[in-house]
């Protein structure tokens, strides 16, 4: 990728409309010789691929399995290595929190310690979600503030929660307050810089009070915190690419990621049709749209090959409505692979197609991993997708004389 500041100097605002369709976890692996895409009946995507340029896209680089944070940042045109998003922030985005620059977040576990403070269960016996909610509520009532910092605690599933400290000048150069192993003593956080010392004192002050309060509530008699992080300072897509970007997704985490790069979040419904209706309703108002379809990833994570095939086929049926809007540049790809056989994100590259006026179509007949590999886009890193879309939307000036 051309250096950020050079790209920025080349961008020019035009009226052309760019649409990026992300089928979460689309890339797969063969079962009886065929990947999920190869097994699916997807006439609309196949036809679109035949009129597009195609390729294989690596979210980060060869062999690297990405989380949703870096894989999306890359698709949004940000170097996923330079722009890190901490674990705490990702968890907060996942439950739909709107973070400010004064917020320090962490991912938390309720856990069990013995009388010597040794961790004997890092998950407090996987207490029920209800029990965890109660505990969070109780803690929230007992401790609203510590040394000038507001504290908010948000329950997740089972023993998990998210914590947010809010105060000016909080720092996230902190070690995990979690030895990550049972049989070790629970510990506070340590500041990694001089500047973060006050923040460490606040967090440790909070933990001290929590331990006093939770002492009687075995098995959830302590908490472990990790992934201390603040919202990274990311220049917006409008600053970097002169785009007015909007996001259409149903899961909070993806909307949160979109907000991090300055996208407008559009209210939408639960179904794919709803998402496409939202695109249609707002098509005149923005010039970049990110539409996220989650079902493919969920089916992959479930290890349900057939369910993923069905999800792909369902998504295929909505493409005619997207094409009717005549976007100048349409990209269809995934953020990462989630092969059903692995039941998890993986390192495999994703197929990509780019449909626009000024291309030499590959004439590929199927939108699959192995067919797209034959296309002119070759195999390339995801962070190049936005420069390509901008170029195809005639939004980039010439570099050099």
Residues that bind its own copies (CB under 8 A): 1-3, 6, 10, 29-30, 35, 56, 60-71, 80-81, 84-87, 90-91, 227, 339, 341-342, 344-349, 358-363, 369-370, 373-380, 384, 387-392, 396-401
Q: How far is 56 from 275, CA to CA, in rounded Å?
A: 26
Smallest separation (angstroms) from its own copies to the CB of 267: 26
Which is closer to its own copies, CB of 131 or CB of 226?
Answer: 226
Chain CA centroid to CA 264, Å: 16
The radius of gyration of the chain's CA atoms, rounded to the nearest angstrom, is 23
Smallest separation (angstroms) from its own copies to the CB of 264: 24
What residues form DSSP beta bridges with 54? 353
Q: Which residues contact 123 (CB under 8 A, 6 or more apart)?
A: 109, 110, 111, 158, 159
DSSP codes of every residue in 134-163: HHHHHHHHH-SEETTEEEEEEE-STTEEEE
Q: Which residues contact 254 (CB under 8 A, 6 or more apart)?
A: 68, 72, 247, 292, 294
Which is closer to its own copies, CB of 1 or CB of 120?
Answer: 1
Which is closer to its own copies, CB of 206 or CB of 241?
Answer: 241
Which is closer to its own copies, CB of 131 or CB of 308?
Answer: 308
Which is closer to its own copies, CB of 262 or CB of 339?
Answer: 339
Which is closer to its own copies, CB of 204 or CB of 371?
Answer: 371
Largest Cα–Cα separation, the chain: 73
Which is closer to its own copies, CB of 272 or CB of 312?
Answer: 312
Give the three-state DSSP class for 301: helix
Q: How far is 76 from 248, CA to CA, in rounded Å?
A: 14
Give the three-state DSSP class for 19: strand
DSSP codes of every residue in 224-264: EEEEEE-------HHHHH---EEEE-SSHHHHHHHHHTTPE
Nearest to 177 by CA among 138, 207, 155, 132: 207
Smallest separation (angstroms) from its own copies to the CB of 150: 24
Smallest separation (angstroms) from its own copies to the CB of 208: 27
Q: How far is 71 from 383, CA to CA, in rounded Å?
A: 9
Smallest separation (angstroms) from its own copies to the CB of 214: 26
């Amino acid at each position: 990728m051309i250096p950020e500041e050079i790209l920025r100097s080349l961008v020019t605002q035009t009226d052309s409309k760019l649409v990026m369709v992300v089928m979460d976890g689309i890339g797969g692996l063969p079962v009886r010789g065929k990947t999920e895409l190869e097994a699916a009946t997807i006439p609309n995507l196949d036809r679109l691929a035949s009129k597009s340029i195609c390729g294989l896209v690596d979210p980060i680089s060869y062999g690297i399995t990405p989380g949703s944070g870096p894989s999306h940042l890359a698709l949004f045109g940000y170097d996923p290595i330079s722009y890190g998003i901490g674990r705490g922030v990702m968890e907060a985005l996942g439950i739909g929190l709107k973070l400010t620059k004064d917020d320090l977040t962490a991912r938390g576990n309720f856990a069990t310690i013995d009388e010597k403070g040794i961790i004997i269960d890092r998950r407090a016996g996987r207490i029920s979600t209800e029990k965890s909610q109660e505990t969070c509520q109780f803690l929230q009532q007992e401790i609203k503030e510590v040394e000038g910092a507001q504290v908010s605690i948000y329950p997740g599933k089972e023993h998990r929660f998210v914590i947010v400290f809010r105060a000016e000048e909080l720092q996230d150069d902190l070690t995990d307050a979690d030895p990550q192993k049972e049989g070790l003593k629970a510990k506070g956080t340590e500041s990694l810089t001089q500047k973060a010392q006050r923040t460490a004192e606040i967090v440790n002050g909070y933990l001290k009070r929590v331990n006093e309060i939770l002492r009687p509530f075995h098995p959830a008699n302590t908490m472990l915190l990790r992934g201390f992080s603040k919202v990274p300072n990311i220049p917006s897509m409008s600053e970097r690419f002169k785009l007015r970007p909007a996001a259409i997704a149903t899961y909070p985490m993806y909307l949160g990621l979109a907000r991090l790069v300055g996208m407008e979040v559009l209210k939408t419904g639960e179904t794919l049709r709803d998402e496409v209706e939202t695109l249609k309703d707002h098509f005149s108002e923005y010039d970049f749209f990110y539409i996220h379809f989650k079902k493919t990833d969920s089916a992959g994570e479930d290890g349900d090959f057939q369910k993923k095939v069905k999800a792909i086929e369902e998504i295929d049926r909505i493409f005619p409505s997207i094409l009717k809007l005549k976007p100048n540049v349409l990209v269809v790809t995934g953020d990462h692979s989630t092969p059903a056989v692995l039941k998890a994100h993986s390192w495999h590259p994703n197929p990509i197609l780019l449909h626009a006026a000024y291309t030499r179509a590959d004439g590929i007949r199927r939108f699959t991993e192995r067919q797209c590999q034959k296309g002119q886009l070759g195999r390339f890193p995801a962070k190049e997708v936005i420069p390509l879309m901008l170029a195809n939307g005639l939004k980039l000036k010439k570099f050099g004389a």
